[in-house]
């Protein structure tokens, strides 16, 4: 695997012939996942209204434990159980009340999806915590992180893949006209690779996991799903080269944090779609959509790709989830990425 900073991409020699066209459209704009509020039907109405080409199943962590990123994804696990402790979510031998609450939240979301959007056609996105971030966030019975144990990582990844296949089938049954895309959130991945996760005591750091191990395990996980996949990492130093080499169909990142143009160019050359986070997840104001589009056009030109390829190669999103935003800002952020994407279309 070439490193993200390798010179294998020559931005001055890129042509349409070098990059395979995507098999199907991704949609010009979408959301990352989470929204403020606690009403799943209202949240679904918001995303299908503001994101008519690539809506997603909203996540509402304000509902409490079980609706948070880890608890929600734990509800997808098959024959692997968790419970909530004062220190966070922990692997346990049998399911309990906390896991049941997470399962019920997800069931309500699916009911709301059917009630509001049963006639949806085209791509539709669901989100889950990725296997590395999930293993980094779950504790084993003795209190250490599951990510430190290869067997625990394997069990979590296999269980999550099985649960997600079932989840995709449930969403598809409620939206018969949809193609379900799966997004994996991996905010902990840079810390896993760089040895930045704290130990149980909090006084030390866990050892870094070799990039080759991370790539191989993630590649096996993605290959087991049978759906188009997006891997989202809005943390600094998102490992775009590794995610591309793992087989992700698209990579999602905070546009303002990624400075390695070689890694971005190599991904585009390989036909990997880009989900660009172009506005913050929280705030009080937004720029004009045309200003955002102009900034992206200048960046694309710096990469050296034809201007007419930009709208086909990117999907615009907020930089991260919107759970911490006000309802007005969240609605404005989704409208912003939709409108900014229109300015990327060729004249």
Q: pLDDT tens for residues 297-339? A: 999 999 999 999 999 999 999 999 999 999 999 999 999 999 9
Q: What does the angle CA 240 – CA 5 – CA 28 come to, to the nearest 5 degrees?
A: 35
Helix (H) or strand (E) holding 318: strand 314-318
> In the block, which residue shows the tokens 């030390």?
204
Structure tokens at 284: 């009080």
Q: What is the structure's pLDDT at 142?
A: 81
> In the block, which residue shows the tokens 């889950």?
128
Q: What is the pTM of this model?
A: 0.90
Residue range 167-180: mean pLDDT, rounded: 97
Output the CA–CA distances (angstroms, integers) from residue 154 to 161, 213, 227, 313, in the order listed. Answer: 11, 12, 20, 33
Check pLDDT > 50 for residue 18: no
Q: Is the Cα dihedral 69, 72, 76, 77 positive or negative?
A: positive
Q: What is the structure's pLDDT at 230?
A: 97
Three-state DSSP state, 105: helix
pLDDT in tens, 191-207: 999 999 988 777 889 99
Q: What is the structure's pLDDT at 259?
A: 83
Q: What are phi and psi of 165, to 5 degrees?
A: -60, -40
Q: What is the structure's pLDDT at 87?
A: 86
Q: What is the structure's pLDDT at 45?
A: 98
Helix (H) or strand (E) holding 231: strand 229-233
pLDDT band at 4 (very low <50, low <70, confident <90, very high): very low
């Amino acid at each position: 695997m070439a490193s993200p900073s390798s010179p294998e991409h020559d931005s001055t020699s890129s042509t349409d012939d070098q990059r395979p066209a995507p098999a199907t459209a991704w949609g010009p704009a979408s959301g990352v996942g989470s929204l403020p509020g606690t009403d799943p039907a209202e949240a679904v109405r918001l995303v299908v209204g503001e994101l008519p080409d690539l809506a997603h199943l909203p996540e509402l962590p304000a509902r409490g434990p079980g609706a948070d990123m880890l608890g929600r994804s734990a509800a997808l696990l098959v024959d692997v159980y968790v419970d909530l402790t004062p220190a966070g979510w922990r692997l346990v031998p049998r399911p309990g009340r906390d896991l049941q609450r997470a399962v019920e939240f997800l069931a309500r979301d699916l009911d709301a999806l059917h009630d509001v959007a049963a006639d949806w056609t085209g791509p539709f996105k669901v989100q889950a915590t990725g296997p590395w971030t999930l293993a980094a966030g779950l504790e084993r019975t003795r209190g250490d992180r599951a990510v430190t144990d290869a067997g625990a990582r394997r069990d979590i990844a296999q269980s999550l893949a099985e649960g997600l296949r079932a989840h995709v089938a449930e969403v598809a049954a409620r939206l018969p006209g949809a193609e379900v895309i799966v997004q994996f959130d991996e905010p902990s991945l840079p810390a896993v690779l760089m040895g930045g996760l704290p130990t149980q005591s909090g006084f030390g750091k866990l050892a870094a996991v070799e990039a080759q191990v991370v790539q191989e395990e993630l590649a096996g996980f993605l290959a087991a799903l049978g759906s188009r996949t997006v891997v989202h990492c809005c943390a600094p130093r998102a490992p775009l080269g590794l995610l591309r080499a793992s087989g992700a169909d698209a990579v999602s990142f905070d546009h303002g944090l990624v400075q390695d143009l070689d890694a971005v160019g190599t991904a585009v050359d390989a036909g990997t779609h880009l989900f660009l986070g172009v506005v913050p997840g929280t705030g009080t104001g937004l720029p004009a959509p045309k200003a955002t589009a102009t900034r992206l056009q200048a960046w694309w030109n710096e990469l050296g790709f034809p201007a007419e390829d930009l709208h086909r190669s990117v999907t615009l999103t907020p930089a991260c989830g919107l759970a911490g935003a006000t309802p007005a800002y969240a609605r404005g952020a989704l409208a912003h990425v939709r409108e900014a994407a229109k300015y990327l279309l060729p004249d």
